[in-house]
Amino acid sequence: MPDQENSANGAAMEHHGQTRYIARFTRAQRTLHAVLFSTFLGLAATGLPLRFSESFWARKFAAIMGGFGAILAFHKLCAVILTLAFLIHVKDLFTRAFLRHEKGIFWGSGSMVANWKDVKDLVGHFRWFVGLGPRPRFGRYAYWEKFDYWAVFWGMMVIGFSGYAMWFAPFFAHFLPGWALNAVLVVHSEEGLLAILFIFSIHFVNTHLRPDSFPMDMVIFTGVESEEEFKTKRPLEYEKLVSQNKLAQRMAEPPALWYTNFSRSVGFAAIAIGLLLLVLTLSAYFS
Amino acid sequence: MKAVSPITVFLAAAVVSFCTAPSAAENSAACLACHGDATLQDASGHSIAVDGSKFHSSIHGSLDCTNCHVSIKGYPHPDKVTPVQCSTCHADEASGLAGSVHADGAQQCTNCHGSAHAIYPKTDPRSTVYPLNIPRTCGSCHGKDGLAGKHGLPSVYPHYLDSIHGMALSKEGLLVAANCQSCHGSHHILSHTNPESPTYKTNIPKTCGSCHAGITASYKSGVHGKTLAAGNLKAPVCTDCHTAHAIVEPTEAEFRNQSTPICGSCHKEQFFTYRDTFHSQLGALGGYVETARCWDCHRAHDILPASDPASTVAPRNLVKTCGRCHADANASFVQYQPHANAYNRKLSPGLYYIRLFMNLLLVSVLTFFLIHTILWLIRSRYHQVKENAAEGEKDA
């Protein structure tokens, strides 16, 4: 496989003349992320004008997208797609954990569930930030990645529930107290705002814009990472693969150039839209 | 200046002297022998010409010139003649004018009624005070560049023209459409600060009610009407919500979109809480005109407090009121608080704590990760620079 290196990945070849690639995300996981970020951008872009309806840009912004009716229709469309993606993900987890009795879904190095090591990593990371210790060695999922995952998971349930409660208010009113109809708007808009601020600033920087990944971590698009990068970013997982002789299993084809370029343009467009929405949000919030 | 020719003088003298008992028409004909010349001017260059045919068709056409120009007894007459006193005949109008806002001496009957020799009855479309012509007549002063503007009065004419009254008058030619004098009167126009004025606050419902009788009755039965009747001048009257001159059709988007801040200018707390709701957010976006505004729920004129069982916002009527938009509204659905205050712990405790929790969550998550990420960025960059430097040394 290393011999299959070709000029398409010339940039990655600089050090050893040949770069090996390791698979990190499956096609399903990458598709889930793509559906998540595109519907999230759509939801943010159509939700913000409502949240900050009195800001100087809201009305123009809404008009550009075809007025309020178009905004709401688009918001609901994105919501339904995202809900389906979320349900498929939950169903998938359920199948893997309870039907196929797959191990490591809820516990272990490959799990998204936080464990004691994450706490130690968090503290260790802070110590490294201020020069009090070595850089923690991360495994398959680092603590901030788990936080991202659970933040989205929690957000999906909270924003999703409150959104549907508003969409079908008279129906939800059968089993919710009256004031809950007031609360769902507060919850929906505050949690939405938190998601927007978090994703467009913290997630962007942590995952894509920090020096180690700048300007974009392509692994969520291509699914593969160069061995070098993998070794630096996830030393524990790498060592485990080596010690268990599983490295060969995880070796992958380098991504095609056209696919990398395509993903890069989609990714940059998403980041640009996200940053624009962040600027609009902050301008509305502080004016 | 054109001099009066000797022949004209002779002819005029002959007419005056030979007609011992002249009729009015004959008499005016004698005057018109000179003044019928359209180019006739006095010593200071002012036209003293009279259009005989216009004069004869005017409301004063049957009168003799000397009925008004009383100082002229025969011919030749002196250069200086005493000014015409309309009040000799029109005493009531003159006394009305004398006590009005226009009684500043500069105002003359002809300012509004037009050329003295071409005054028509107000039912005649040629009249400057024909209903369809009144706004233009008043607007010549009360417009943007008019005399009123120089006295610091607002330019109301353009507002009126664009208003529903102005449109009905100018576009449809509706004689019953309110024009200036319908509300302000004609000769005895008083300032709106004068309690006798039809535009004085407490008189406005009656003034508007002279046409809008049904609405006025409805207004009087509502809290605003009752509060005003009880002597509280803070209560709004028609013009406080509809404006005086720029009145638009209340079902139109333009009025719907501007209506909530009008109520909010008095009901500040309610306006504040309304703005926190989905109703307001939709409304502010402009595109969604139908979203509930104050008066969709509270009604516009016969507004009643929620404690009144007849009120649209009384608990037992809420399903019906909300149901006007939300077809499947039910008893539980209408427990929704359209004016809930998420910052008021006593009024809406559940909402207050949920809002507080969401705010704390937002602030704490963002604060923690901002610090985390900024430190990380600095440390990563430092690390990168150091490694690059080390690598540079190695390569060298």
Q: What is the pLDDT of residue B366?
A: 96
pLDDT surpasses 60 at B52: yes
Tell me what ipTM this predicted complex has: 0.90
Burial of B53 by CB count in 10 Å (0-12 exposed, 13-18 middle, 19+ buried)? Answer: exposed
Give the C-alpha separation, A53 to B257, whole Å: 13
pLDDT, tens digit, for every residue of B342-384? 999 998 899 999 999 999 999 999 999 999 999 999 999 999 8
Residues listed for chain A: 287
With a pLDDT cut of 70, the percent of chain B lying above it is: 91
Mean pLDDT for chain B overall:
87
For residue A50, being part of any structural domain is answered with yes
Residue from B200, B224, B244 nearest B300 by CA: B224
Give the C-alpha separation, B389 to B394, whole Å: 9
Q: What is the pLDDT of residue B283?
A: 81
Which 307-346 residues of chain B touch chain A by CB within 8 A? 326, 328-330, 332-337, 340, 342
Q: What is the pLDDT of residue B392?
A: 80
What value does the mean pLDDT take over residues B261-270? 92
pLDDT surpasses 80 at B141: yes
Nearest-neighbour CA in chain A from B390: distance (Å): 16
Give the C-alpha separation, B280 to B267, whole Å: 15
Residues 6+ apart with CB under 8 A from A238: A22, A230, A231, A247
What value does the mean pLDDT take over residues B261-272? 92
pLDDT surpasses 90 at B396: no
For residue A39, being part of any structural domain is answered with yes
Instruction: Please give the DSSP secondary-structure letter assigned to residue A134.
Output: P
Q: Contacts of residue A135 in chain B, CB cutoff 8 Å?
A: 383
Structural domain count of chain A:
1
Q: What is the pLDDT of residue B221?
A: 95
Q: Contacts of residue A130 in chain B, CB cutoff 8 Å?
A: 375, 379
How does residue B139 score in pLDDT terms, banded at 50, 70 and 90?
A: very high
3 state SS for A167-189: HCHHHHCCCCCHHHHHHHHHHHH
How does residue B105 score in pLDDT terms, banded at 50, 70 and 90?
A: low
What value does the mean pLDDT take over residues A121-142? 95
Q: Are B344 and B338 in contact (CB under 8 A)?
A: no
Q: What is the pLDDT of residue B41?
A: 87
Residue B247 has which token pair?
A: 């009145």
Residue with tokens 């003349």: A17
Q: What is the pLDDT of residue B4?
A: 52
Q: What is the pLDDT of residue B153?
A: 83
Q: What is the pLDDT of residue B132?
A: 95
pLDDT, tens digit, for every residue of B38-50? 898 888 888 889 9
Helix (H, G, I), strand (E, B) or coil at A252: strand
Burial of A3 by CB count in 10 Å (0-12 exposed, 13-18 middle, 19+ buried)? Answer: exposed
Residue A129 has which token pair?
A: 């930030």
pLDDT, tens digit, for every residue of A5-20? 343 343 444 444 578 9
Q: Does B353 touch chain A (CB under 8 A)?
A: no
Q: What is the pLDDT of residue B145?
A: 78
Q: Are A53 and B282 in contact (CB under 8 A)?
A: yes
Q: What is the pLDDT of residue B107?
A: 64
Give the C-alpha separation, B67 to B327, whole Å: 74
How does residue B287 score in pLDDT terms, banded at 50, 70 and 90?
A: low
Higher pLDDT, residue B77 or A268: A268
For residue A15, being part of any structural domain is answered with no
- Which residue blocks in chain A are alpha helix, DSSP H? 27-51, 58-64, 67-94, 116-129, 143-167, 169-172, 178-197, 219-222, 227-233, 235-243, 247-250, 257-285
Residues 6+ apart with CB under 8 A from B302: B218, B219, B221, B222
Cα dihedral A166, A170, A175, A181 sign: positive
Inter-chain residue contact A50 with B348, CB threshold 8 Å: no
pLDDT surpasses 60 at B82: yes
Higher pLDDT, residue B76 or B323: B323
Q: Does A170 touch chain B (CB under 8 A)?
A: yes
Inter-chain residue contact B333 with A178, CB threshold 8 Å: yes
For residue A2, being part of any structural domain is answered with no
For residue A222, being part of any structural domain is answered with yes
For residue A51, being part of any structural domain is answered with yes
Inter-chain residue contact B286 with A178, CB threshold 8 Å: no
Instruction: Please give the DSSP secondary-structure letter assigned to residue A205.
Output: I
Q: Does A50 touch chain B (CB under 8 A)?
A: yes
Higher pLDDT, residue B59 or B29: B59
Residue with tokens 């012509």: B133
Q: What is the pLDDT of residue B25?
A: 59
Closest partner residue to B380 (CB to CB) among A49, A178, A212 is: A212
Inter-chain residue contact B376 with A68, CB threshold 8 Å: no
CA count, 13 A, side-chain hemisphere, A125: 22
Q: Contacts of residue B375 in chain A, CB cutoff 8 Å?
A: 126, 129-130
A190: domain range? 23-285
Q: Contacts of residue B345 in chain A, CB cutoff 8 Å?
A: none
pLDDT surpasses 50 at A93: yes
Residue from B255, B355, B361, B246 nearest B300 by CA: B255
pLDDT, tens digit, for every residue of A38-79? 999 999 999 999 889 888 898 888 888 888 888 889 999 999
Inter-chain residue contact A170 with B376, CB threshold 8 Å: no
Amino acid at position B253, single letter: A
What value does the mean pLDDT take over residues B11-23? 48
Closest partner residue to A194 (CB to CB) among B283, B333, B361 is: B361
Q: Contacts of residue A211 in chain B, CB cutoff 8 Å?
A: 377, 380-381, 383-384
Residue from A39, A33, A76, A71 nearest A208 by CA: A33
Residue from B7, B49, B14 nearest B32 by CA: B49
pLDDT surpasses 90 at B147: no
pLDDT surpasses 60 at A2: no
Cα torsion B277, B283, B285, B286 to 10°: value is 180
Q: What is the pLDDT of residue A264?
A: 94
Q: Does A3 touch chain B (CB under 8 A)?
A: no
Q: What is the pLDDT of residue A67?
A: 80
Inter-chain residue contact A206 with B373, CB threshold 8 Å: yes
Residues 6+ apart with CB under 8 A from A31: none
What phi and psi values does residue B308 have, to the nearest 5 degrees? -85, 125
Determine the residue among B373, B377, B387, B394 to mutate to test chain A binding: the one whose Cβ has the most chain A Cβ atoms within 10 Å: B373
Q: What is the pLDDT of residue B328?
A: 87
Q: Contacts of residue A177 in chain B, CB cutoff 8 Å?
A: 332, 335, 350
Q: Contacts of residue A186 in chain B, CB cutoff 8 Å?
A: 342, 351, 354-355, 358
Q: What is the pLDDT of residue B104?
A: 75
**Chain B residue with Cα closest to A49:** B285
Higher pLDDT, residue B56 or B2: B56
Residue from A94, A48, A76 nearest A200 by CA: A48
**Chain B residue with Cα closest to A129:** B379
pLDDT surpasses 90 at B286: no
For residue A4, being part of any structural domain is answered with no
pLDDT, tens digit, for every residue of A228-265? 999 999 999 999 999 999 999 999 999 999 999 999 99
For residue A11, being part of any structural domain is answered with no
pLDDT surpasses 90 at B75: no
What value does the mean pLDDT take over residues B159-179? 94
Q: Contacts of residue A58 in chain B, CB cutoff 8 Å?
A: 284-285
Q: Contacts of residue B275 in chain A, CB cutoff 8 Å?
A: 54
